Amino acid sequence: MRTFRHARLLAATGAALATLALTACDNGTGAEDEGAAKPTATQPSQTDQTEQTERPDGESAPEPQQTNESDDSEPSDSNEPAASSEQPAICNGSNTKVTAQTVSRPLNHMLLTVTNTGSKPCSLMYYPVLRFDEMQWAPQARPESKPQAVPTLAPGDSGYAGVLLSAADGSGDGGMTAKKLTVMFQGRTPNSEGGAAALPSLPAKGVYYDSSLTVTYWQTDPEDALN
């Protein structure tokens, strides 16, 4: 009888332990299921954040517009002429008329006048290179007479250069009288060939000159050339 009660007690104890284990398993599974049932928070994508960006005034910022420069730009015309950078021609004996005139004041001076007879402007470069008769040397230019800008003559306009023929105090030497004058023109660089020379007429009695012979740079005013 006692043995039968002991067996029943053991059976009841085992059933109780099994019930407790089953309850624990049910509670753990429920926690997992409960946790899985909770919704997870989703992070907005970068695109969504850009679309929801607002200006300080509360208005939504407009989306950037796509531009196509090749469609909006006008095609360039390769045949369109560029801005003209053509320089004026160089004044020389082919497009000017040159005269040589002796003057009373200042003493022993001569005035060269160059008039543009062409249809386009021309520039008088540096100073004239003179040659009386068959002289083998060229008179030097007076440095102080150099203008700030190269004289450019429109058609019909004139430029000038002064010539000191001889020293007023007689200090020059090698004096002689010339019957012929050749006026040569310089190019765009010093002492370069500027084109055809001119042969202005001299007075019938000729022109006296000595070693003091000098010239001025080309000027736009005859007074500047003589003074």
User: What pLDDT is stored for residue 14 in this prediction?
Assistant: 52
| pTM (two decimals) | 0.63
Locus of tokens 């006296």: 208
Instruction: Encode pLDDT of 63-98 as tens digits.
Output: 544 444 444 444 443 333 333 467 899 999 999 999
| Domain boundaries along the sequence of the chain | 89-226
Under 8 Å between Cβ of 165 and 109: yes
Instruction: Encode pLDDT of 3-17 as tens digits.
Output: 444 445 445 545 554
DSSP annotation string for the chain: -HHHHHHHHHHHHHHHHHHHHHHHHHHHHHHHHHHHHSPPPPPPPHHHHHHT-B-TTSPBPPPPPP--HHHHSPPP-TTSPPPP-PPPEEP-TTTEEEEEEEESSSTTEEEEEEEE-SSS-EE--S--EEEETT-SS-PEEPGGG--SS--EEPTT-EEEEEEE-S-TTS---S-EEES-EEEE-B-SSTT-B-S--B-----TT-EEE-TT-EEPPPBSSHHHHH-
User: What pLDDT is stored for residue 170 in this prediction?
Assistant: 85
